[in-house]
């Protein structure tokens, strides 16, 4: 569905995107991640035809985004980060207007507007002025706009921006439903949502692709040290020193709690697990142990490791 080859965008002396290449297959939900200024939005704007690339190429459903721009754009439904809406129009009126701008005839406009109103949960507000809607409903209107011409590809830039937890859950469920009949590329900072929604992620930083894989594979391949946390009834210094001497332990950070308890955060070599040795050590010293667990790497850990500057 998307084929990007050595795509580059330069602004004067600044290179926003540097020779990136990736692909997205039909039916995938792919997260496009990166810190602020990494080149995410620039890439999305090139894919949607809003910006011309400096060099390289990209195809949408087989159409070149530069040489066959109109054909490529017909295949795309784009929802920008800050959805531009005509606030003095009613919801149904606005979607009808947008459908006509996208080339739908009267019959297709009526049919598609009715479909997206139902799909995006807008039936109850279809006659309301857009300026009276909550942030959550405005996002839904933006999504309905992206869907009204029934595109094969949805490109969503921060679709849950500014929403509360309940609204985020509703939009997430809606995106999952849409994936049954659309390919979806999502740019977002909410990594927990990406883990729950996307089958694959692409991480970009400083204009370059740093990683692309499933969230599960990326967390398994992390180079960073593992982390274990335990709570022991023992003097902080003595417990920290004893645990630090164990094999594969890199660092121990103690924290004194109430009633003689100590919480210790233990960093170990990647791919190792010191929990059994810590439990045996506590038993040997007759130190009561009330908590011992291993931190499981998340997509956030991967993101920080790949994009941190230190």
The set of residues, in sequence order, having a beta carbon less than 8 Å from that of 11 and lying 6+ positions away, is: none
Alpha carbon distance 139, 135 (integer Å)? 6
CA angle 144, 149, 150 (to 5 degrees): 85
Over the Cα atoms of the chain, what is R_g? 25
Query: What CATH number does the domain located at 2-215 have?
Result: 3.40.50.300
> What percent of the chain lies above the pLDDT cut of 90?
57
Strands (E), 2-116: 2-11, 14-24, 29-33, 55-60, 63-64, 76-79
Supply the pLDDT for residue 222. 65
Confidence class of residue 167 from pLDDT cuts 50, 70 and 90? Answer: confident
CB 287 within 8 A of CB 254: no
Where in the sequence of the chain do the CATH 3.30.70.1340 domains occur? 226-307
Length of the chain, in residues: 310
pLDDT, one tens digit per residue, over 184-209 is 999 887 788 788 888 899 999 999 99
* Mean pLDDT computed over every residue of the chain: 89
CA angle 282, 285, 286 (to 5 degrees): 80
Q: How far apart are the first and last CA of the chain?
A: 36
Alpha carbon distance 4, 54 (integer Å)? 13
Supply the pLDDT for residue 225. 58
Supply the pLDDT for residue 285. 94
224 pLDDT more than 60: no
Confidence class of residue 278 from pLDDT cuts 50, 70 and 90? Answer: very high
Where in the sequence of the chain do the CATH 3.40.50.300 domains occur? 2-215
pLDDT, one tens digit per residue, over 113-151 is 999 999 888 999 999 999 999 888 998 999 999 999 999
**DSSP alpha helices (H): ranges in 148-235?**
165-178, 191-197, 215-220
105 pLDDT more than 80: yes
pTM given for the model: 0.79
Of residues 97 and 170, more confidence is placed in 97
The set of residues, in sequence order, having a beta carbon less than 8 Å from that of 14 and lying 6+ positions away, is: none
179 pLDDT more than 60: yes
| CATH architecture for the domain at 226-307 | 2-Layer Sandwich (3.30)
pLDDT, one tens digit per residue, over 42-90 is 999 999 988 889 999 999 999 998 889 899 999 999 998 888 899 999 9
CB 184 within 8 A of CB 175: yes
pLDDT, one tens digit per residue, over 228-240 is 999 999 999 999 9
Supply the pLDDT for residue 47. 92
């Amino acid at each position: 569905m998307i084929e990007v080859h050595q795509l580059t965008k330069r602004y004067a002396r600044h290179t926003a995107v540097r020779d990136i290449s990736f692909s997205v297959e039909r039916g995938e939900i792919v997260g496009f991640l990166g810190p602020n200024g990494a080149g995410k939005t620039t890439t999305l704007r090139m894919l949607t035809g809003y910006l011309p690339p400096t060099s390289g190429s990209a195809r949408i459903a087989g159409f070149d985004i530069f040489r066959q721009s109109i054909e490529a754009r017909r295949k795309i439904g784009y929802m920008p980060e800050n959805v531009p809406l005509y606030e003095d129009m009613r919801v149904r009126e606005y979607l009808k207007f947008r459908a006509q701008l996208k080339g739908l005839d009267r019959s297709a406009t009526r049919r598609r507007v009715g479909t997206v109103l139902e799909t995006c949960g807008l039936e109850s507000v279809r006659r309301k002025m857009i300026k009276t809607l909550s942030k959550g409903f405005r996002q839904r209107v933006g999504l309905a706009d992206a869907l009204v011409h029934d595109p094969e590809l949805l490109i969503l830039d921060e679709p849950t921006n500014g929403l509360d937890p309940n609204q985020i859950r509703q939009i997430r469920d809606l995106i999952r439903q849409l994936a049954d009949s659309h390919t979806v590329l999502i740019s977002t900072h909410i990594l927990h949502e990406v883990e729950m929604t996307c089958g694959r992620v692409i991480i970009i930083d400083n204009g370059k692709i740093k990683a692309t894989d499933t969230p599960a594979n990326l967390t398994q391949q992390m180079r960073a040290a593992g982390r274990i946390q335990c709570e022991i009834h023992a003097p902080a210094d003595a417990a920290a020193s004893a645990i630090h001497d164990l094999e594969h332990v890199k660092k121990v950070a103690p924290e004194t709690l109430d009633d003689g308890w100590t919480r210790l955060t233990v960093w170990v070599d990647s791919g190792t697990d010191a929990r059994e040795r810590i439990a045996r050590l506590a038993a040997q010293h007759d130190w009561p142990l009330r908590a011992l667990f291993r931190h499981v790497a998340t997509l956030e850990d991967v993101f920080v490791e790949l994009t941190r500057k230190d």
